[in-house]
């Protein structure tokens, strides 16, 4: 993991990250993690750079060894109402607020952070540079991926278990054939277009 230097190194810090800004379906999921200095976790990295097997293993280890962790979300309805950026930031705030321990500092993946009262800083590519953010990215991704796999059974034919809601050709083709579901984000252009076509044919 690339070294990240912060003036807040050594404080009780939380890392927060989100997963699911790009998909056409499903909630945006966030997690916040405070790691214990006396319980190091080997192998932490950006969740997208890890295999599913490694993520699943780390998911359980993080929940066991972290001083505190919290998973939060904003729904499809939230996303359509306030837009994905604001929904992501709100879900991040929910995740940090949900920690059993109040952090002395928060590291936020990316370049934007919620409006809150925490001492915090953004970190570009933080999930590859800050262990606590990496841990948060793993909790969020495993949680969301498992939910999308479950949706495969509820909404067969869309391929959610494979593409996790992202706008792949398989997903777009399924939308055109089967129409939209309650878990699709109506404010996203591909979904909005198909919805408009279906309404015009009524």
Q: What is the pLDDT, as a whole number, of residue 46? A: 87
DSSP one-letter string for the chain: ------TTTTS-EEEEEEE-SS-SBS-EEEEEEE--TTS--TT---GGGS-HHHHHHHHHHHHHHSSEEEEEEE-HHHHHHH-HHHHHHHHHHHHHHT-SS--SEEEEESS---S-SS-EEEETTGGGT-HHHHHHHHHHHHHHHHHHHHHHHHSTTS-HHHHTT---HHHHHHHHHH---TTB-TTSHHHHHHHHHHHHT-
Q: What is the pLDDT, as a whole number, of residue 38? A: 83
Per-domain boundaries in the chain: 13-152, 156-200
How far is residue 185's CA from residue 202's CA, in Å, rounded to a whole number?
A: 21
Identify the band that residue 102 occupies on the pLDDT scale cut at 50, 70 and 90: very high
How far is residue 67's CA from residue 39's CA, in Å, rounded to a whole number?
A: 9
Identify the band that residue 10 occupies on the pLDDT scale cut at 50, 70 and 90: confident
User: What is the Cβ-side half-sphere exposure of residue 87, based on CA atoms within 13 angstroms?
Assistant: 22
Mean pLDDT of the 129-134 span:
95
Identify the band that residue 122 occupies on the pLDDT scale cut at 50, 70 and 90: very high
Token pair recorded at residue 2: 């690339």
Identify the band that residue 148 occupies on the pLDDT scale cut at 50, 70 and 90: very high
Q: What is the pTM of this model?
A: 0.94
pLDDT in tens, 15-61: 999 999 999 999 999 999 999 888 889 999 889 999 999 999 999 99
How far is residue 56's CA from residue 51's CA, in Å, rounded to a whole number?
A: 9
Identify the band that residue 197 occupies on the pLDDT scale cut at 50, 70 and 90: confident
How far is residue 89's CA from residue 198's CA, in Å, rounded to a whole number?
A: 32
Q: What is the pLDDT, as a whole number, of residue 5? A: 62
Mean pLDDT of the 147-162 span:
97
Identify the band that residue 1 occupies on the pLDDT scale cut at 50, 70 and 90: low
Assess contact for 66 and 34: CB atoms under 8 A. Answer: yes
- Name the CATH topology of 13-152: Nucleotidyltransferase; domain 5 (3.30.420)
Mean pLDDT of the 146-165 span:
97
Identify the band that residue 3 occupies on the pLDDT scale cut at 50, 70 and 90: low
Is the pLDDT at 200 greater than 70? The verdict is: no
């Amino acid at each position: 993991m690339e070294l990240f230097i912060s003036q807040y190194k050594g404080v009780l810090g939380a890392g927060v990250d989100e997963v699911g800004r790009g998909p056409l379906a499903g909630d945006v999921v966030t997690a916040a993690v405070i790691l214990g200095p006396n319980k190091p976790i080997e192998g932490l990295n950006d969740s997208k750079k890890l295999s599913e097997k490694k993520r699943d293993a780390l998911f359980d280890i993080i929940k066991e060894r972290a001083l505190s962790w919290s998973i939060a979300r904003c729904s499809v309805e939230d996303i359509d109402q306030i837009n994905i950026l604001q929904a992501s930031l709100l879900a991040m705030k929910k995740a940090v607020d949900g920690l059993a321990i109040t952090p002395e500092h928060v590291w936020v993946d990316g370049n934007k952070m919620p409006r809150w009262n925490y001492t915090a800083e953004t970190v570009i590519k933080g999930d590859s540079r800050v262990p606590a953010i990496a841990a948060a990215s793993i909790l969020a991704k495993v949680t969301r991926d498992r939910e999308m796999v479950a949706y495969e059974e509820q909404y067969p034919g869309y391929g959610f278990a494979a593409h996790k809601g992202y706008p792949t050709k398989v997903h777009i083709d399924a939308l055109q054939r089967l129409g939209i579901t309650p878990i699709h984000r109506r404010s996203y252009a591909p979904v909005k277009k198909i919805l408009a076509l279906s309404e015009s044919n009524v």
